[in-house]
Amino acid sequence: MQLIKEIIDNKEKSKVTNYILRRIPEWFGIEEAIKNYVKEVGDTDFYALFLEDKPIGFISIKSNNHYTSEIYVMGILKEYHNKGIGKKLLLKAEETLINKQVKFLMVKTLGESHPDLNYKSTRQFYFRAGFYPLEEIKEIWGKENPCLIMVKNLQ
């Protein structure tokens, strides 16, 4: 049975983040980045989807201001990709944000000018979920890792 839980405890947020990100190196292969996500998710709204008692996906939402929140990090175990897990987590987060009257949700992902096929599928997921490309910026993560900012209107 699948169950989405909001996780409040910072240690549990970090534990779930570490467990999942280390199992999807195609997206999260930089040790420093993993450590940073594990440390910083404590300051975010956090939802995890469990199958029985095993976490298989999570979404971490950071508030940027009263109007805009951001998907800080999201991860789904690869064997559960294309099974609606990401969509369920995103809908749960959006429901909460809409109730808080947040107007926009944004996400930063690897830009279209980078040839990585895994991130091409990530961009397609966000596009299907209603996000639109806003701008690709090379100054955020460096020119080798162009950052695409995508945004969704929640109203």
For the beta carbon of residue 78, count every other beta carbon within 10 angstroms: 14
Q: Which residues contact 41 (CB under 8 A, 6 or more apart)?
A: 10, 13, 14, 17, 60, 72, 73
Predicted TM-score (pTM) of this structure? 0.93
Q: Which pLDDT score, from 0 to 100, does residue 14 have?
A: 98
| CATH code for the domain defined by 2-153 | 3.40.630.30
DSSP 88-103: HHHHHHHHHHHHTT--
Q: Which two tokens stand for residue 2?
A: 């699948």
- pLDDT tens string 1-57: 889 999 999 999 999 999 999 999 999 888 999 999 999 999 999 999 999 999 999
Q: Which pLDDT score, from 0 to 100, does residue 29 have?
A: 86
- pLDDT tens string 104-148: 999 999 888 887 888 889 999 999 999 999 999 998 887 888 999
Q: Is 2 exposed, middle or buried (0-12, 13-18, 19+ CB in 10 A)?
A: middle
- pLDDT tens string 66-87: 999 999 999 999 999 999 999 9
* Measured CA distances, 46 to 49, 61, 83 (Å): 10, 6, 20
Q: Which pLDDT score, from 0 to 100, does residue 148 have?
A: 94
Q: Which two tokens stand for residue 44?
A: 């975010």
